[in-house]
């Protein structure tokens, strides 16, 4: 049996899977936690990888790292990290995003240049904030990397101390200074943000070998977490993933790049040479945990309460912008509970409104992906909140298409492992790894979506006025 390893360096933890290169069967796995913060010393990720992979990598022939997108890792001429990495969920650069959009001539100019309109999560906005607010540290900086680039680089340094950092087109497309349509960096946009040029990682091909570990294992390019999940799930045209983790994401594989000037859809590249239109919300699984905490119940009881209420929660609607929001781009927004009366003020209705509100936000994302010309025939529901019985029961009625719930798994790490197997094989396409799951269906419920949309639009109008 040939073994390959995939690493998921996510916001909350590092996961390592060791798989059979032919079948994708998981034979070993490990995990280590990360601090709950919006900035972190990248050395913490390396320590977590070391802990999570301890005793697992013996006999592994290839390895790849998928990581949280957008994070800013700045280093000096000696390769020393200059400041803690700013993560995707750090919103201090929201003002920088607005400035950069205006300086290039508006949202459409950015969408045409990079496929996306920058928001606070993008690396390019963090570089602007860094240059303006920490000029002494910025002056020491000579290069910028993404989280997965940093881990990949450290993996390879022991065998090749002189190597230069590498990345892949998928993760590069989330920086705000790489163009999916051109397949090249837009260093003019990096200079616009930072005020001068920085060294950036070489963009490797999807199945290139970018180095080897001290033990001789092949290192594949790695990718961003959403691109890794798409690869792990074996996404096909017509499939749309809704991932319910810390953030909520909606993404699909496309044959052509997208450019949405509204900013709702980020026009990323994927890890196979294709494209990955993506919508991201800041509020997903945490909406359910917050609702459970407010009601003083656990998540199992929250599920029971939600399923005991009627669709529409008796007229109660939750706009779940609990941590601000990215889509729509409202980093300072807050949640809103609308339609509350004495008649519907019950724990069951509130639980139902929490589930429906979270899912309606993602259903808006599906509509945005569809509006970019992407076929939507089936939704694959993944992430921590996909384990919720209420989520699985309610999702088909709000998404309006069949919902497939793959067996629980670490699909980002699995995608990285599949990429490692691909690089090891030298073949034109990645190996076919089966993904088991169950299909759930439901009758579309336009009324819930309509009421949610009315509440959302009223709130947005108030915020804009």
Q: What is the CATH number of the domain that holds 205?
A: 3.30.420.40
Q: How confident is the model at residue 165 (pLDDT cuts 50, 70, 90)?
A: very high
Mean pLDDT, residues 356-363 taken together: 96
What is the pLDDT, as a whole number, of residue 324? Answer: 82
Residue 329 has pLDDT above 80, yes or no: no
Q: What is the per-residue pLDDT across 169-188, written as a single tens digit (0 to 9) for each?
A: 999 999 999 999 999 999 99
Residue 464 has pLDDT above 90, yes or no: no
Q: Are residues 159 and 282 in the same domain?
A: no
Q: Are residues 218 and 239 in the same domain?
A: no
Q: What is the per-residue pLDDT across 98-150, written as a single tens digit (0 to 9) for each?
A: 999 999 999 999 999 999 999 999 999 999 999 999 999 999 999 999 999 99
Residue 429 belongs to a domain: no
Q: Are residues 205 and 282 in the same domain?
A: no
Residue 92 has pLDDT above 80, yes or no: yes
Among 181, 208, 234, the domain-final residue is: 234
Residue 192 belongs to a domain: yes
What is the pLDDT, as a whole number, of residue 413? Answer: 97
Q: How confident is the model at residue 246 (pLDDT cuts 50, 70, 90)?
A: confident
Q: Are residues 345 and 196 in the same domain?
A: no
Q: Are residues 48 and 104 in the same domain?
A: yes
What is the pLDDT, as a whole number, of residue 376? Answer: 93
What is the pLDDT, as a whole number, of residue 282? Answer: 85
Q: Report which of 163, 129, 124 is spatially closest to residue 146, judged by C-alpha positions.
A: 124
Q: Are residues 148 and 267 in the same domain?
A: no
Give the catalytic positions in this structure. 225
Say which range, 291-295, 325-329, 392-396, has the weakest mean pLDDT.
325-329
Q: Are residues 227 and 252 in the same domain?
A: no
Residue 426 belongs to a domain: no
Residue 135 belongs to a domain: yes
Higher-confidence residue: 89 or 305? 305
% residues pLDDT > 90 (the chain): 89
Q: Are residues 209 and 294 in the same domain?
A: no
Residue 425 belongs to a domain: no
Among 209, 234, 259, the domain-final residue is: 234
What is the pLDDT, as a whole number, of residue 462? Answer: 81
Instruction: Work out the number of other CB atoms within 10 angstroms of the CB of residue 80.
Output: 9
Most confident of 127-136, 241-250, 272-281, 429-438: 127-136
Q: What is the per-residue pLDDT across 51-61, written as a single tens digit (0 to 9) for each?
A: 999 999 999 99
Q: Are residues 96 and 154 in the same domain?
A: yes
What is the pLDDT, as a whole number, of residue 383? Answer: 87
Residue 465 has pLDDT above 70, yes or no: no
Say which range, 296-305, 416-425, 455-464, has the weakest mean pLDDT.
455-464
Count of the separate structural domains present in the chain = 2
What is the pLDDT, as a whole number, of residue 28? Answer: 97
Residue 23 belongs to a domain: yes
% residues pLDDT > 70 (the chain): 100
Q: Are residues 286 and 145 in the same domain?
A: no
Among 234, 259, 274, the domain-final residue is: 234
Mean pLDDT, residues 266-291 taken together: 94
Mean pLDDT score across all residues of the chain: 95
What is the pLDDT, as a whole number, of residue 152? Answer: 98
Mean pLDDT, residues 143-162 taken together: 96
Residue 406 belongs to a domain: no
What is the pLDDT, as a whole number, of residue 441? Answer: 82
Mean pLDDT, residues 283-287 taken together: 93
Residue 411 belongs to a domain: no
pTM assigned to the model:
0.89
Question: Domain range spanning residue 313?
Answer: 235-401+435-465
Q: Are residues 272 and 339 in the same domain?
A: yes
Q: Are residues 196 and 137 in the same domain?
A: yes
């Amino acid at each position: 049996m040939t073994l390959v390893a995939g690493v998921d360096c996510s916001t909350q933890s590092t996961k390592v899977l060791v798989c059979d290169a032919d079948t994708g069967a998981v034979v070993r796995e490990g995990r280590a936690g990360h601090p709950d913060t919006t900035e972190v010393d990248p050395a913490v990720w390396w320590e977590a990888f070391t802990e999570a992979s301890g005793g697992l990598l013996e006999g592994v022939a290839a390895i790849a790292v998928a990581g949280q997108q957008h994070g800013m890792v700045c280093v000096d001429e000696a390769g020393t990290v200059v400041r803690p990495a700013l993560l995707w969920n750090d919103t201090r650069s929201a003002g920088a995003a607005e400035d950069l959009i205006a300086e290039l001539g508006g949202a459409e100019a950015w969408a045409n240049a990079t496929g996306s309109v920058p928001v606070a999560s993008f690396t390019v906005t963090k570089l602007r904030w860094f240059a303006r607010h920490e000029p002494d540290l910025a002056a020491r900086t000579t290069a910028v990397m993404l989280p997965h680039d940093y881990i990949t680089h450290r993996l390879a340094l022991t065998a090749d101390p002189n190597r230069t950092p590498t990345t892949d087109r998928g993760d590069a497309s989330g920086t705000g200074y790489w163009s999916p349509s051109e397949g090249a960096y837009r260093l003019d946009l990096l200079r616009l943000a930072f005020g001068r040029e920085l060294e950036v990682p070489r963009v490797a091909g999807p199945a290139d070998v970018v180095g080897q570990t001290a033990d001789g294992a092949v290192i594949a390019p790695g990718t961003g977490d959403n691109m890794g999940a798409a690869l792990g799930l074996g996404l096909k045209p017509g499939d749309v993933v809704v991932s319910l983790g810390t953030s909520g994401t909606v993404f699909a594989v496309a044959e052509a790049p997208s450019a949405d000037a509204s900013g709702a859809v980020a026009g990323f590249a994927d890890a196979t040479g294709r494209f990955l239109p993506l919508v991201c919300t800041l509020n997903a699984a945490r909406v359910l945990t917050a609702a459970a905490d407010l009601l003083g119940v656990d998540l199992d009881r929250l599920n029971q309460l939600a399923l005991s209420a009627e669709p529409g929660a008796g007229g109660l609607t939750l706009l779940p912008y609990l941590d601000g929001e990215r889509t729509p781009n409202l980093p300072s927004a807050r949640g809103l509970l609308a339609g509350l009366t004495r008649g519907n003020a019950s724990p069951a209705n509130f639980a139902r409104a929490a589930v429906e509100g979270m899912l309606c936000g993602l259903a808006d994302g599906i509509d945005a992906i569809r509006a970019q010309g992407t076929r939507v025939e089936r939704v694959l529901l993944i992430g921590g909140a996909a384990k919720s019985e209420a989520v699985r029961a309610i999702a088909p009625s709000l998404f309006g298409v069949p919902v497939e719930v793959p067996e629980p798994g670490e699909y980002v790490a699995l995608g990285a492992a599949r990429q490692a197997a691909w690089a090891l094989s030298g073949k034109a396409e990645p190996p076919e790894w089966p993904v088991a799951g169950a299909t759930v269906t439901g009758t579309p419920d336009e009324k819930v979506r309509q009421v949610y949309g009315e509440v959302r639009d009223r709130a947005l109008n108030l915020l804009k006025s």
